[in-house]
Structure 1
Amino acid sequence: MSKIVARNGAIDLDKSAIDYETVQDPGHGNTLAAWMTVFIMLLGAVVATVGNIFGSWMIFWVGIVIALIVGPGVGLVLRAMGKGKPKDSGRSK
Protein backbone atom coordinates (compact mmCIF):
# COMPACT_ATOMS: atom_id res chain seq x y z
CA MET A 1 0.00 0.00 0.00
CA SER A 2 1.19 3.46 -0.73
CA LYS A 3 1.39 6.06 2.00
CA ILE A 4 -0.31 9.43 1.92
CA VAL A 5 0.81 12.35 4.08
CA ALA A 6 -2.08 14.30 5.59
CA ARG A 7 -2.13 18.08 6.05
CA ASN A 8 -1.00 17.74 9.65
CA GLY A 9 2.00 15.65 8.58
CA ALA A 10 0.63 12.32 9.77
CA ILE A 11 1.02 9.33 7.49
CA ASP A 12 -2.25 7.82 6.35
CA LEU A 13 -3.01 4.70 4.31
CA ASP A 14 -4.20 5.01 0.74
CA LYS A 15 -7.97 4.51 0.95
CA SER A 16 -8.15 3.34 -2.67
CA ALA A 17 -6.15 0.23 -1.75
CA ILE A 18 -8.89 -1.11 0.56
CA ASP A 19 -10.75 -4.14 -0.78
CA TYR A 20 -14.32 -3.35 0.25
CA GLU A 21 -15.58 -6.70 -1.04
CA THR A 22 -13.84 -8.53 1.80
CA VAL A 23 -14.70 -5.98 4.48
CA GLN A 24 -18.21 -6.59 5.75
CA ASP A 25 -20.38 -4.57 8.07
CA PRO A 26 -20.49 -6.48 11.38
CA GLY A 27 -23.85 -4.90 12.23
CA HIS A 28 -22.84 -4.15 15.83
CA GLY A 29 -25.96 -5.86 17.17
CA ASN A 30 -28.34 -3.16 15.99
CA THR A 31 -31.42 -5.31 16.63
CA LEU A 32 -34.42 -5.28 18.93
CA ALA A 33 -32.91 -8.10 21.00
CA ALA A 34 -29.65 -6.23 21.51
CA TRP A 35 -31.31 -2.91 22.34
CA MET A 36 -33.73 -4.45 24.84
CA THR A 37 -30.93 -6.41 26.50
CA VAL A 38 -28.82 -3.30 26.97
CA PHE A 39 -31.79 -1.22 28.13
CA ILE A 40 -32.87 -3.77 30.74
CA MET A 41 -29.30 -4.22 31.99
CA LEU A 42 -28.94 -0.45 32.28
CA LEU A 43 -32.23 -0.27 34.17
CA GLY A 44 -30.96 -2.97 36.53
CA ALA A 45 -27.77 -1.01 37.13
CA VAL A 46 -29.81 2.10 37.96
CA VAL A 47 -32.03 0.14 40.37
CA ALA A 48 -28.95 -1.36 42.05
CA THR A 49 -27.37 2.08 42.34
CA VAL A 50 -30.50 3.56 43.89
CA GLY A 51 -30.66 0.66 46.33
CA ASN A 52 -27.03 1.19 47.26
CA ILE A 53 -27.47 4.94 47.74
CA PHE A 54 -30.48 4.50 50.03
CA GLY A 55 -28.93 1.56 51.87
CA SER A 56 -31.59 -0.93 50.85
CA TRP A 57 -29.81 -4.18 50.14
CA MET A 58 -33.04 -5.79 48.86
CA ILE A 59 -33.39 -3.14 46.13
CA PHE A 60 -29.67 -3.44 45.38
CA TRP A 61 -29.88 -7.20 44.81
CA VAL A 62 -33.08 -6.84 42.78
CA GLY A 63 -31.18 -4.48 40.49
CA ILE A 64 -28.29 -6.94 40.22
CA VAL A 65 -30.70 -9.74 39.29
CA ILE A 66 -32.34 -7.51 36.67
CA ALA A 67 -28.97 -6.56 35.19
CA LEU A 68 -27.35 -10.00 35.19
CA ILE A 69 -30.24 -12.44 34.71
CA VAL A 70 -33.37 -10.72 33.37
CA GLY A 71 -31.63 -8.56 30.74
CA PRO A 72 -29.60 -11.31 29.06
CA GLY A 73 -32.55 -13.69 29.43
CA VAL A 74 -34.85 -11.31 27.55
CA GLY A 75 -32.16 -10.91 24.89
CA LEU A 76 -31.87 -14.66 24.41
CA VAL A 77 -35.65 -15.07 24.20
CA LEU A 78 -35.95 -12.24 21.66
CA ARG A 79 -33.11 -13.71 19.60
CA ALA A 80 -34.86 -17.09 19.64
CA MET A 81 -38.02 -15.33 18.42
CA GLY A 82 -36.07 -14.01 15.42
CA LYS A 83 -35.65 -10.42 16.62
CA GLY A 84 -31.85 -10.69 16.83
CA LYS A 85 -29.03 -10.95 14.37
CA PRO A 86 -28.97 -14.28 12.50
CA LYS A 87 -26.10 -16.52 13.60
CA ASP A 88 -24.54 -16.76 10.12
CA SER A 89 -24.75 -13.06 9.18
CA GLY A 90 -21.54 -11.06 9.11
CA ARG A 91 -19.25 -14.07 8.67
CA SER A 92 -16.69 -14.27 5.92
CA LYS A 93 -17.26 -16.95 3.31
Structure 2
Amino acid sequence: MSNTHSSQARANEATPSEDLGHGNSPAAWTCVFVMMIGSIISCIGFVIASNPVFWGGVVVIAIGLIVGWAMRKAGYGVGGSKLKNQH
Protein backbone atom coordinates (compact mmCIF):
# COMPACT_ATOMS: atom_id res chain seq x y z
CA MET A 1 0.00 0.00 0.00
CA SER A 2 2.83 2.41 0.69
CA ASN A 3 4.18 1.71 -2.78
CA THR A 4 0.95 3.00 -4.36
CA HIS A 5 1.03 6.10 -2.16
CA SER A 6 4.64 6.93 -3.08
CA SER A 7 4.00 6.54 -6.83
CA GLN A 8 0.92 8.75 -6.53
CA ALA A 9 2.95 11.40 -4.68
CA ARG A 10 5.59 11.35 -7.44
CA ALA A 11 2.89 11.79 -10.08
CA ASN A 12 1.58 14.84 -8.25
CA GLU A 13 5.06 16.35 -8.04
CA ALA A 14 5.67 15.89 -11.76
CA THR A 15 2.80 18.15 -12.82
CA PRO A 16 3.42 21.85 -12.20
CA SER A 17 0.55 23.87 -10.79
CA GLU A 18 1.17 26.93 -12.95
CA ASP A 19 1.80 27.41 -16.65
CA LEU A 20 5.44 28.34 -17.25
CA GLY A 21 4.88 29.57 -20.80
CA HIS A 22 7.66 27.37 -22.23
CA GLY A 23 9.31 30.41 -23.82
CA ASN A 24 6.62 31.09 -26.41
CA SER A 25 7.63 34.69 -27.03
CA PRO A 26 9.27 36.72 -29.80
CA ALA A 27 12.45 36.96 -27.71
CA ALA A 28 12.71 33.19 -27.27
CA TRP A 29 11.91 32.38 -30.90
CA THR A 30 14.44 34.93 -32.19
CA CYS A 31 17.09 33.60 -29.83
CA VAL A 32 16.51 30.01 -30.95
CA PHE A 33 16.39 30.94 -34.64
CA VAL A 34 19.68 32.88 -34.53
CA MET A 35 21.36 30.14 -32.50
CA MET A 36 20.13 27.49 -34.95
CA ILE A 37 21.67 29.44 -37.84
CA GLY A 38 24.92 29.65 -35.85
CA SER A 39 24.84 25.89 -35.26
CA ILE A 40 24.38 25.24 -38.97
CA ILE A 41 27.30 27.54 -39.79
CA SER A 42 29.49 25.79 -37.21
CA CYS A 43 28.52 22.36 -38.55
CA ILE A 44 29.42 23.42 -42.08
CA GLY A 45 32.74 24.78 -40.84
CA PHE A 46 33.45 21.52 -39.04
CA VAL A 47 32.63 19.39 -42.09
CA ILE A 48 34.76 21.46 -44.47
CA ALA A 49 37.54 21.73 -41.83
CA SER A 50 37.50 25.53 -41.76
CA ASN A 51 38.35 27.07 -38.40
CA PRO A 52 37.17 30.59 -39.31
CA VAL A 53 33.76 29.31 -40.45
CA PHE A 54 33.40 27.11 -37.35
CA TRP A 55 34.27 29.91 -34.92
CA GLY A 56 32.11 32.34 -36.90
CA GLY A 57 29.18 30.04 -36.17
CA VAL A 58 30.08 30.02 -32.48
CA VAL A 59 30.07 33.82 -32.53
CA VAL A 60 26.60 33.78 -34.16
CA ILE A 61 25.39 31.48 -31.37
CA ALA A 62 26.66 33.96 -28.76
CA ILE A 63 24.97 36.81 -30.65
CA GLY A 64 21.71 34.83 -30.50
CA LEU A 65 21.95 34.65 -26.72
CA ILE A 66 22.59 38.38 -26.49
CA VAL A 67 19.72 39.22 -28.87
CA GLY A 68 17.31 37.03 -26.90
CA TRP A 69 18.36 38.61 -23.62
CA ALA A 70 18.06 42.14 -25.05
CA MET A 71 14.60 41.44 -26.49
CA ARG A 72 13.45 40.03 -23.14
CA LYS A 73 14.69 43.17 -21.36
CA ALA A 74 12.90 45.29 -24.00
CA GLY A 75 9.57 43.64 -23.11
CA TYR A 76 9.29 40.92 -25.75
CA GLY A 77 9.79 37.97 -23.37
CA VAL A 78 7.10 35.83 -21.74
CA GLY A 79 4.74 38.22 -19.96
CA GLY A 80 6.60 41.22 -21.38
CA SER A 81 5.11 44.69 -21.54
CA LYS A 82 5.14 44.79 -25.37
CA LEU A 83 3.03 41.66 -25.84
CA LYS A 84 -0.75 41.87 -26.25
CA ASN A 85 -1.59 38.42 -24.84
CA GLN A 86 -0.55 39.05 -21.25
CA HIS A 87 -2.11 36.94 -18.53
Structure with the larger helix share? 2
Provide the rounded CA distance (Å) in 2 between the counterparts of 1:57 and 1:26: 39
Provide the rounded CA distance (Å) in 1 between the counterparts of 2:71 and 2:22: 16
Same amino acid, percent of matched pairs: 36
Q: Are residue 52 (structure 1) and residue 46 (structure 2) matched?
A: yes
Q: How many residues align?
A: 69
Indicate the residue corresponding to 2:66 in structure 1: 73
- Structure with greater Cα Rg: 1
The offset of 1:23, in angstroms, is 1.7
> Which runs of structure 2 are paired with 1:15-34 in the superposition (5 Å)?
23-34=17-28
TM-score (norm 2): 0.69
Provide the rounded CA distance (Å) in 2 between the counterparts of 1:55 and 1:26: 41
CA RMSD in angstroms, aligned pairs only: 2.2
Structure 1 consecutive aligned stretches of length 4 or more whose deviation exceeds 3 Å: none
User: Any unmatched runs of 5+ in structure 2?
Assistant: 1-7, 81-87
User: Any unmatched runs of 5+ in structure 1?
Assistant: 1-12, 88-93
Deviations 1:32-62 (A, max 9, x none): 0001111111110100000111111100000
Structure with the larger strand share? 1
The offset of 1:86, in angstroms, is 3.9
SS of the counterpart of 1:25?
A: coil
